[in-house]
């Protein structure tokens, strides 16, 4: 009953902010994806880093696992308490603490969502650009090294966090990084915690890099007869230095789903959706140059616009694509895959994946962040067809093999969690052992989100 003892001790500190209600536990045992429901023993809602340190110290004393929780939008089972324990929900640590417009940075708590943050920033003329689609928490986005549609221009969480406050497994509260734009002062602890998925420490504060809201935005859409032409267009655009803010690929099946869901009438072909940020002059020029490349590489129906309503329709459609795909097969759940390859291999990777899915009994529309070489097949399975989960897992495993064979990675942006743990050794070789050695050095008891990212025994 060591977990019980930890919870009893913490109850006197947190009062009602430590809950064991069935509904709260169930909520924190859910997954957005296909992982089994596994509730924690309790949920804590700390309000300060000091409380988080107290929670971790108490749990460490009793060997109770500690699982950080943001908005619960993970697709890889990151927040699933597979060994029970205490989920630490950052919902009450969701404030913007400081905004420094002249330095274009902000200090925030981990529980704030990206949409709430950008609401808060609106009047400053600045914004936080990382956009994984879901309205994730900033702490969770850092912990999983999230990226998304704007990464081709603004980078991922890796590129937009200047510093962190972190509670370690022994309760120490440390700060990493500074508000300076760069530093050569020792090991890069900030980047060690970004992407560590709560296994090395709990993020309690983040200093973020902000960007100026663009003066003008243009968006464009066009169709291609195959993925090859679309990828060639994107490679040429990048090589010419035309600065795309977003460059998204959707395949024919995805177009079919979004046409039905968003009441659109795009031709049934692969499409590119593009956005440019800049001055009135530059976004017009960028769109014009892209149009020339689209023509050169056999694209058709190229249209661009600087009108907010056209743009919003386009990106609302893109953001809803996941739901459109879900709606296209009644009663289906999704196994979302996430591979990333060098862009020269992207067309081949997508084509092989498409053919493999076409040979299987389940549908799997493909869409992705083509400027990063990252794409997702949304494998649609039904619980009343129990063999479909195995089929999806086998397709996913072959996608992973494909990514590694082509010099890529098993997860471009969704993280390891439980879903990619079995592939870590294949991707990293002995480097995965080194990750385990770092884990053992910083969390020798293995109480922080155990069972994720590394294996410790």
Within 107-146, which residues bind a second copy (CB under 8 A)? 125, 144-146
| Residues in region 31-90 near a second copy by CB under 8 A | none
| End-to-end Cα distance, the chain | 22
Q: Closest separation between CB of residue 92 and a second copy, Å? A: 25
Please compute, for residue 161, the number of CA atoms within 13 A of its CA located in the half-sphere on the CB side: 33
Q: Closest separation between CB of residue 190 and a second copy, Å? A: 8
What DSSP designation does 97 have? E
Q: Cβ(110)–Cβ(140) under 8 Å?
A: yes
**Dihedrals phi, psi of 85, to nearest 5 degrees:** 105, -160
Sheet strands (E) in 77-139: 86-89, 96-100, 105-108, 126-127
Q: Which of 28, 153, 402, 414 binds a second copy (CB under 8 A)?
A: 414
Q: Which of 150, 196, 218, 337 binds a second copy (CB under 8 A)?
A: 196
- 300 lines the binding site for a second copy (CB under 8 A): no
Q: Which of 37, 182, 309, 359 binds a second copy (CB under 8 A)?
A: 182
Q: Closest separation between CB of residue 60 and a second copy, Å? A: 16
| Residues in region 260-289 near a second copy by CB under 8 A | 277-279, 281-282, 285
Q: Closest separation between CB of residue 454 and a second copy, Å? A: 7
- Please state, as a whole number, how many other Cβ atoms lie within 10 Å of the Cβ of residue 397: 14
Q: What are the start-end ranges of the H helices in 380-444?
A: 387-405, 424-428, 430-442
| Residues in region 2-21 near a second copy by CB under 8 A | none
Of 65 and 201, CB closest to a second copy: 201
| Residues in region 216-245 near a second copy by CB under 8 A | 235, 238-241, 243
Tell me the per-residue interface mask from 373 to 412 with a second copy, x by CB under 8 A, - otherwise: xx----------------------------x---xxxxxx
Pairing, β 202-209 against β 211-212:
unpaired
State the DSSP H helix or E strand holding residue 311, giving kind and residue range, or none if neither. Answer: helix 308-319
Token pair recorded at residue 51: 């409380």
Separation CA 49–CA 202 (nearest Å): 9
Q: Closest separation between CB of residue 285 and a second copy, Å? A: 6
Token pair 């009663």 in the structure block, residue: 331
Total number of residues that touch a second copy (CB under 8 A) = 95
Token pair recorded at residue 48: 């300060």
| Residues in region 321-360 near a second copy by CB under 8 A | 338, 340-344
Q: Cβ(254)–Cβ(325) under 8 Å?
A: yes
Residue 419 region, left (φ>0) first, then alpha (ψ -120 to 50), else beta?
alpha
Of 334 and 442, CB closest to a second copy: 442
- 1 lines the binding site for a second copy (CB under 8 A): no
- 457 lines the binding site for a second copy (CB under 8 A): no
Q: Which of 2, 21, 115, 183 binds a second copy (CB under 8 A)?
A: 183
Token pair 């979302």 in the structure block, residue: 336
Of 84 and 101, CB closest to a second copy: 101
| Residues in region 90-109 near a second copy by CB under 8 A | 100-105
């Amino acid at each position: 009953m060591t977990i019980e003892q930890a919870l009893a001790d913490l109850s006197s500190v947190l009062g009602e902010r430590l809950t064991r209600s069935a509904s709260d536990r169930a909520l924190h045992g859910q997954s957005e994806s296909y992982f089994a429901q596994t509730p924690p023993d309790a949920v804590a809602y700390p309000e300060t880093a000091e409380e988080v340190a107290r929670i971790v110290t108490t749990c460490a004393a009793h060997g109770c696992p500690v699982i950080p929780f943001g908005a619960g939008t993970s697709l890889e089972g990151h927040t699933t308490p597979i060994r029970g324990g205490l989920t630490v929900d950052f919902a009450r640590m969701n404030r913007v603490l400081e905004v420094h417009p002249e330095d274009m940075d902000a200090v925030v708590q981990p529980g704030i969502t990206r949409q709430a943050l950008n609401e808060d920033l609106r009047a400053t003329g600045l914004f936080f650009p990382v956009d994984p689609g879901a309205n994730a928490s900033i702490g969770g986005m850092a912990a999983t090294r999230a990226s998304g549609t704007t990464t081709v221009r603004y980078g991922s969480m890796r590129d937009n966090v200047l510093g962190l406050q972190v509670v370690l497994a022994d309760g120490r509260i440390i700060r990493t990084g500074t508000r300076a734009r760069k530093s050569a002062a020792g090991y890069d602890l900030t980047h060690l915690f970004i992407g560590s998925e709560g296994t090395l420490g709990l993020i309690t504060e983040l200093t973020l890099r902000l960007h100026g809201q663009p003066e003008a935005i243009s968006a464009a859409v066009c169709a291609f007869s195959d993925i090859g032409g679309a990828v060639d267009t994107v490679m040429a655009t990048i090589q010419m230095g035309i600065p795309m803010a977003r460059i998204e690929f959707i395949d024919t099946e995805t177009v079919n789903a979004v046409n039905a869901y968003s009441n659109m009438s795009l031709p049934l072909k692969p499409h590119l959706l593009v956005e440019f940020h800049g001055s009135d002059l530059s976004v017009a020029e960028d769109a014009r140059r892209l149009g020339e490349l689209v023509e050169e590489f056999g694209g058709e129906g190229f249209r661009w616009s600087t009108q907010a309503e056209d743009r919003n329709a386009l990106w609302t459609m893109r953001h809803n694509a996941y739901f459109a795909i879900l709606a296209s097969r009644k009663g289906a759940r999704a196994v979302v895959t996430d591979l990333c390859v060098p862009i020269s291999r992207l067309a081949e990777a997508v084509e092989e994946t498409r053919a493999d899915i076409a040979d299987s009994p389940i549908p799997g529309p493909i869409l992705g962040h083509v400027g990063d070489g990252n794409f997702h097949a949304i494998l649609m399975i039904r619980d009343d067809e129990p063999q479909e989960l195995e089929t999806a897992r086998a397709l996913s495993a072959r996608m992973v093999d494909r990514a590694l064979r082509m010099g890529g990675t098993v997860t471009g942006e969704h993280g390891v969690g439980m879903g990619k743990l079995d592939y870590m050794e294949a991707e990293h070789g002995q480097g995965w052992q080194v990750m385990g050695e770092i884990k053992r050095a910083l969390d020798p008891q293995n109480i922080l989100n155990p069972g994720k990212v590394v294996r410790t025994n």
